[in-house]
Chain A
Amino acid sequence: MFPRPIEQTRPLTQRLYTIALPIALILWLFPLLGVAVTSVRPASDLAQGNYFGMPSYIAFENYVSVFRDSDLGRYMLNSLKVTIPTVIGAVALSCLTGFALGIYKFRSNLLVFFLFVAGNFVPFQILMVPVRDLTLSLGMYNSWTGLAMFHIAFQTGFCTLFMRNFIKALPFELIEAARVEGVSEIRIFWYVVLPLMKPAIAALSVLIFTFIWNDFFWATVLTTTKETQPITAGLSSLNGQWVAAWHLVSAGSILAALPPVLMFFLMQKHFIAGLTLGAVK
């Protein structure tokens, strides 16, 4: 076990470590703590210049005000409308493509696989103008469908990489046995492999949820009005409206960050499994 397990060191080192841990954490999360405190700081404090003393009282009304007086709630709903279909679509498509690339041996298997991988790494900007035009001509501009369609297509790259590696690690004997029995390929997919993919599906869903919820660029390019914009683009325009209203900006930011954070804490294992696949041989 590396580094040397703390139990084996001198008691002084152990004590130092137990003190160092929380200090390190507070330093690390400092910006977050600052923003959290600002979000419950009453506006009167800010007007008088009390920026980081103790807040005169805990102003939860900032959160209420953010929902009531701005479109933050609408933006969060829009985020849901885009994120959930994307998760379903991308994961479903990649189960299929991952299966194809993981189980079957055919000449262009690796080529197709690498195409998915490479495509996932391209800078968004090279896609921006054509995708915007395509979305406009499909009549999906400024709608959750247009945004979801793009995200489903793009995330299929990453998800295929993930699923294919996962499926490759499954015991191939199960497939062989089913084939010997004369089971059709489609049934093999549905009844043999898919049930085994549940942990991968869970991991991927959590990850994709986070990626799409946090996407800013495509939200800005493909949606323009408060009826359709997700929380990232919405927060950006609210920031323009709330000049010098740091308490509102902070409250809005915390709310915008909440769903992925909740998702992360509830499904940590899956989240980490998703990110680290391939980090271990």
Chain B
Amino acid sequence: MTYLKTGAVAFAAALLMSGSAFAQTRALSYNADFDPTPLAAFQALIADFEAENPDIKVTLNNFDHEGYKTAIRNFLTADSPDLANWYAGNRMAPFVTSGQFQDVSDVWTDNGLGEQLASAKASMTIDGKQWGVPYTYYQWGIYYNKDAYKAAGVEVPTTWDGFIENCAKFQAAGIDCLTTGSKALWPIAGIFDYLNMRTNGYEFHMDLTAGKVAWTDDKVKATFAEWAKVVPFTTENHAAIDWQDAAALLVQGKAANYVMGNFAVATFKEGGMTNDNLGFMVFPEITAGIPRAEEAPTDTIHIPAGAKNVDDAKKFLAFVARADVQTKLNAALGQLPTNKGATVDAADPFISAGFESLSSAYALAQFFDRDAPAEMAKAGMEGFQEFMVKPDRLDAILERLEKARGQIYK
């Protein structure tokens, strides 16, 4: 009789336990806007995370890149996920100040991220607290077509003056010295950032984007004066084409140089370029003696204030910050890990050059549309585009930007 009873109790207990084990699968919802390659990389990362944490299931909701930028405003207020992608610096500030992102400083301290992610920490910190975890960044610089250089008979320049001298020779050979696609505006902001940092220095650039310096300042005019030197040698209809169209020009050898981020290498290679004819150089020096700062836009993951499963979300963040995870992820992304303990593929010349460039850089900017507040960024980039099409309107453009500065940075 007791056997039966014990058996029954054991059986019931087993049922109960299996029932509760079943109920243990917790869910994490994650909203992001990955292009196809990063999407595959992250699906692999999620699989790894789920393998290490079999009781957690992560559901990734992927948006289209441009639509996500509007969508995030909506899903943070209504129906928020547990994790969301976004960017560092000024770009995350509106969500931080309105309380839509959660403070994750504990994830940083608990996992020693202040040490491991030192270079990116400043851009994740507001009011002394950290509001997300950066998982990747990438370098910007000048990509060039070595065949185009040979065709015009020029050498890779070491200074800006050398670069401009080369431009005349490119023009003689019927090649655009510089190409870009300004239809979506942001590509030319990269040109401005570098010109400004090389002409006036990192601190001045940060002051300008923070609204502490007037746009009509002589130093800003000096930057545009340098820009004016290369405008006549830039692709003509850049305002009507996207960055991918301009990439095609570089691939076909119709253009020689392209100020771009490392994500473009995949597009160049798809078009047929190889390590033999695709080159990378850091933006050349303009004003002698200014320490070399670089652009390194950082992608991040945050926990929205309305997240339901905060504990597991923090586990995910800690996972993503790990050196080994970042090594694997960034190998697939073709970008640079923010964890200095991670490793990069020594055989990839662009990644290695980027890692070199960023590790030895004096400071890292986040890109104009992340360093400057959104409205100023839009006004600024429109001004840049107008300048490139109509350089003689510089004074009017700078006055307009100065007026915008007065209204935006209150």
Contact = CB atoms under 8 A, between A and B. Distances in A.
| Direct contact between A and B judged by beta carbons closer than 8 A | yes
Interface string B45-79: 00000000000000001011111001100110111
Interface string A202-220: 0000000000000000000
Interface residues of B, number: 17
Nearest to A137: B78
Contacts of A109: none
B245 interface: yes
A56 interface: no
Contacts of A139: 78
Contacts of B61: 225
A243 B67 CA distance: 15
Interface residues of A, number: 12
Interface string A223-235: 0111000000000
Nearest to A136: B78
A171 to B, nearest CB: 52
B250 to A, nearest CB: 14
A51 to B, nearest CB: 13
A241 B66 CA distance: 9
Interface in A134-183: 136, 139, 141-142
Nearest to B181: A243
Contacts of A141: 74, 78-79
Contacts of A18: none
B226 interface: no
B342 interface: no
A244 interface: yes
A66 to B, nearest CB: 15
Contacts of B78: 136, 139, 141-142
B244 interface: yes
Contact of B64 (A142, A226, A243, A244): A226
A139 B78 CA distance: 8
Contacts of B248: 244
Given A243-B244, A244-B244, A244-B245, A142 B66 contact: no
Contacts of A243: 242, 244-245
Main secondary structure of the interface of B (DSSP, over half): helix
A241 B64 contact: yes
Nearest to B183: A243
Nearest to B65: A240
Interface string B238-271: 0000101100100000000000000000000000
Contacts of A142: 74-75, 78-79
Given A136-B78, A243-B242, A244-B245, A225 B66 contact: no
Contacts of B77: 136
Given A136-B77, A142-B74, A225 B245 contact: no
A199 to B, nearest CB: 41
Contacts of A237: 64, 66-67
A237 B242 CA distance: 14
A279 B248 CA distance: 52
Contacts of B67: 224-225, 237
B265 to A, nearest CB: 17
A78 to B, nearest CB: 14
Contacts of A226: 63-64
A28 B66 CA distance: 34
Contact of A240 (B64, B71, B74, B79): B64
A223 to B, nearest CB: 10
A136 to B, nearest CB: 5
A244 B242 contact: yes
Contacts of A136: 74, 77-78
A224 B63 contact: yes
Contacts of A225: 61, 63, 67, 71
Contacts of A241: 64
B66 A240 contact: yes
Interface in B351-388: none
Interface of A: 136, 139, 141-142, 224-226, 237, 240-241, 243-244
Pick the 9 closest A-B CB pairs, nearest first: A224-B71, A243-B244, A237-B64, A243-B242, A240-B66, A237-B67, A136-B78, A141-B78, A244-B245
Given A224-B71, A240-B64, 14 more contacts: A136-B77, A139-B78, A141-B74, A141-B78, A141-B79, A225-B63, A225-B71, A237-B64, A240-B65, A241-B64, A243-B242, A244-B244, A244-B245, A244-B248
13 contacts: A141-B74, A141-B79, A142-B75, A224-B63, A224-B71, A224-B74, A225-B61, A237-B66, A237-B67, A243-B242, A243-B244, A243-B245, A244-B245
